[in-house]
Structure 1
Amino acid sequence: MSVVTPDQVIEALRPVQDPELHRSIVDLNMVRDVSINDGVVALTVTLTIAGCPLRNEIQNRVNGAIRPLPGVRDVQLNFGVMTDDERAALREKLHGSPAASAGSAPAQGHAQGRAIPFAQPGSKTRPLLISSGKGGVGKSSVTTNLAVALAAAGHSVGVVDADIYGYSIPRMLGADREPVAIDQMLLPPESYGVRCISIGYFVPDGQAVVWRGPMLHKALEQFLTDVFWDEPDFLLVDMPPGTGDIALSLSQYLPRAEVYVVTTPQDAAQKVARLSAAMA
């Protein structure tokens, strides 16, 4: 019978990715204490947080990678949790220093906080702003279906629900799992291959959001900078109706963005949609 070695186990686990970070669990230093005794492989996978919602998925992926190895009779998988220092190191490796994030910058305005990654000249992400003049014309439905279609075509896709007062993207996507925070870095929930972030994850169900311009500005800034988007091919932004504070902020944050205006055939809806298009 072939005898498997710890190095072979590590190499078999290298293609296994963390479901949220989309990086190899080996490269993220999550695999520890690999040992083999009479064909039984024992190891520890260190999770990013206690109570990780995707623990079962990680367990299935690890078992699926190790069990087919020649000479493996069983797998004994234990779970640990990263320390605060390890989470801080992971955050810095993936997302830069937390001291540079928008959320920790005392001054207002993205120029004095963390740089918006999608506004940089070398960014590969194509930002799409989905807007409308009036509410109720199907803007969020278009955003959701376009995002899912792009993901189904093999693209990596993120969605920012910028309709702060009338958020609906999480419900439409079925992304009901809350974001995970790793040392001030937010991991957005994913559904149908689409990652999304929304103010709906941070306010109690049924509670209205009553914010003025500066708070809206800061929330959008954090959605763009403190969330780990991992350079998606497309970033769709579900805009609120009209041409208010959020539209102004996003025009500053994402100057390279393309704007798509959704309307219905009625003259009244089209007239208001033209105003939204004129702002773009």
Structure 2
Amino acid sequence: MNPIEEQLYRRLSAVIDPELGKSITDLGMVTAIQAVPRDQSTNTGSAEQTNAQPVYDVTIGIELTVPGCPLSQAITDSIKQAVASYPDATLVPHIEVGSMDSDKLHALVQRLKAERHENPFSKPGSKTRIFAIASGKGGVGKSSITANLAATFAALGYDTAAIDADIYGFSLPRLFGTSEHPVNLNGMLMPATAWGVKFMSIGIFAGSDKAILWRGPRLQRSLEQFLADVWWGAPDVLLLDLAPGTGDMAISVAQALPNAELVVVTTPQSSASDIAARSGLVALQVPMKVRGVVENMSWFEHRGERLEIFGSGGGQRVADQLTRALGYDVPLLAQLPLDPQIREIGETGRPAVLDEHGRLRDDDFAQSFKHLAQALMAAPSVAD
């Protein structure tokens, strides 16, 4: 390589593949760099042209992991920015895009799998905060809270992932508004992405109209596959939308992710809060820390008056009961309103905390989730 080509290679090492979270040079995606001075013999010799920087035509060859990669444009745009950052000459980029052959792709996947181990979130030194969103019964808005909390983390700048661990009642594809199928790289899956959140759900494969009839061992295997067969990179936050109750999946999460922290969702009425407390009491039998309680549907705003349609105090009752039973403070982290507009926005496939451009909204609902996310991250992690 000539000096310009060497400098460009170093700059390209800062271009990150959005799916794999690694440099395109580390991934072997850069196959050629050639910088050729442009013929300027037709210049008139004016002072402006004499003092101008030399111009080079730069050809860069890249091989994407799969043909027609949906992130091709994002990668090529980043390459152009890296080329434009060269200070000592004007570089005119020409990018030739191809795809890896099967042998090269297989070798890359094997290397990534070797780096990752089987479950990247349970290995020592993992910095990912894992929050399992649980409830005692269905219908309390647990999945909606998971989706909005994930979107909030992403909007705050966290690298965020989510797993739909409610196999029978999967909701995340609908709540995130996408039916995107994961890219399969020789047996390693790239998660779907929506609103800045990487996520995986059985609903992506089964379709929204399919019923899942699986018993315990297969449920556990599905979680293991979501953890081990998907390339998550190294997210800051992983959220799991658990099935209601204290069944097989809750036990599987505790076994596979001993560093997971439980967030219990309830509604205000005593019949719901009594059941919700049981989902937190599972921490007496499995190694999970209960981080706190979220009360949903706390009130309905009507002409300036807060109507407590489902009663009041359920979230605090759950927090107090778990604090007494577990022997450490389990706070009431948030109280969220019942608002038809929130439901309507959510049904369009956009988390209600975000505006149409994916930015965190300024209203009370979004700010409640912002404070919830900040409270969760401010608390010491299980690994600390």
Give yes or no for TM over 0.5: yes
SS at match of 1:230: coil
How much has 1:263 moved relative to structure 2?
A: 0.7
Contact 2:193 2:199 in 1 (8 A): yes
- 1:12 is matched with which residue? 11
Q: Are 1:34 and 2:37 counterparts?
A: no
Contact 2:161 2:237 in 1 (8 A): yes
SS at match of 2:206: coil
Q: Distance in 2 between matches of 1:213 and 1:45?
A: 45
How much has 1:203 moved relative to structure 2?
A: 1.3
Q: 1:224 aligns with which of 227, 249, 257?
A: 227
| CA RMSD across the alignment | 2.2
- 2:104 is matched with which residue? 86
For 2:216, give the aligned amino acid.
G
How much has 1:72 moved relative to structure 2?
A: 3.6
Q: 2:65 aligns with which of 40, 48, 56?
A: 48
SS at match of 1:5: helix
Per-residue deviation, residues 179-206 of structure 1 (Å, max 9, x unmatched): 1122221111223332111111111342
Q: TM-score, normalised by structure 1?
A: 0.86
Q: Are 1:63 and 2:62 counterparts?
A: no
Per-residue deviation, residues 33-90 of structure 1 (Å, max 9, x unmatched): 2112322211211000112111111122222222453534532211111122222222
How much has 1:175 moved relative to structure 2?
A: 4.6
SS at match of 2:121: helix
Contact 1:125 1:233 in 2 (8 A): yes
Contact 1:131 1:239 in 2 (8 A): yes
Pick the structure with greater CA Rg. 2
Q: 1:248 aligns with which of 234, 245, 251?
A: 251
Count of residues in correspondence between the two structures: 263
Structure with the larger RCO, 1 or 2 (CA within 8 Å, 6+ apart): 1
Decide whether aligned partners of structure 1 residues 250 and 66 sit closer, same or farther in structure 2, where only a CA change above 3 A counts. Answer: same
Decide whether aligned partners of structure 1 residues 117 and 34 sit closer, same or farther in structure 2, where only a CA change above 3 A counts. Answer: closer
What are structure 2's unaligned runs of at least 5 residues?
39-55, 284-384
Q: 2:237 aligns with which of 223, 231, 234?
A: 234
How much has 1:127 moved relative to structure 2?
A: 1.6
Q: TM-score, normalised by structure 2?
A: 0.64
For 1:62, give the aligned amino acid.
I
Please list, as runs of the form range in 1=range in 2, the aligned pairs for 1:135-150 lying within 5 A after superposition. Answer: 135-150=138-153
Q: Distance in 2 between matches of 1:155 and 1:119?
A: 20
Contact 2:83 2:91 in 1 (8 A): no
Contact 1:4 1:71 in 2 (8 A): no
> Share of identical aligned residues, percent?
44
How much has 1:220 moved relative to structure 2?
A: 0.7
Q: Distance in 2 between matches of 1:156 and 1:74?
A: 33
Q: Distance in 2 between matches of 1:28 and 1:182?
A: 13
Decide whether aligned partners of structure 1 residues 124 and 165 sit closer, same or farther in structure 2, where only a CA change above 3 A counts. Answer: same
Q: Are 1:130 and 2:129 counterparts?
A: no
Q: Distance in 1 between matches of 2:84 and 2:3?
A: 11
Per-residue deviation, residues 62-121 of structure 1 (Å, max 9, x unmatched): 2222245353453221111112222222223323189x7xxxxxxxxxxxxx4x332334
Q: Distance in 1 between matches of 2:208 and 2:125?
A: 39
Q: Are 1:172 and 2:175 counterparts?
A: yes
Moved more, 118-127 or 19-28: 118-127
Q: Distance in 1 between matches of 2:146 and 2:90?
A: 47
Q: Are 1:118 and 2:96 counterparts?
A: no
- 1:257 is matched with which residue? 260
Per-residue deviation, residues 217-245 of structure 1 (Å, max 9, x unmatched): 11111001111122322211100111222
Q: 1:77 aligns with which of 95, 111, 117?
A: 95
Q: Distance in 2 between matches of 1:223 and 1:80?
A: 29
SS at match of 1:96: helix
How much has 1:154 moved relative to structure 2?
A: 3.0
Decide whether aligned partners of structure 1 residues 233 and 67 sit closer, same or farther in structure 2, where only a CA change above 3 A counts. Answer: closer
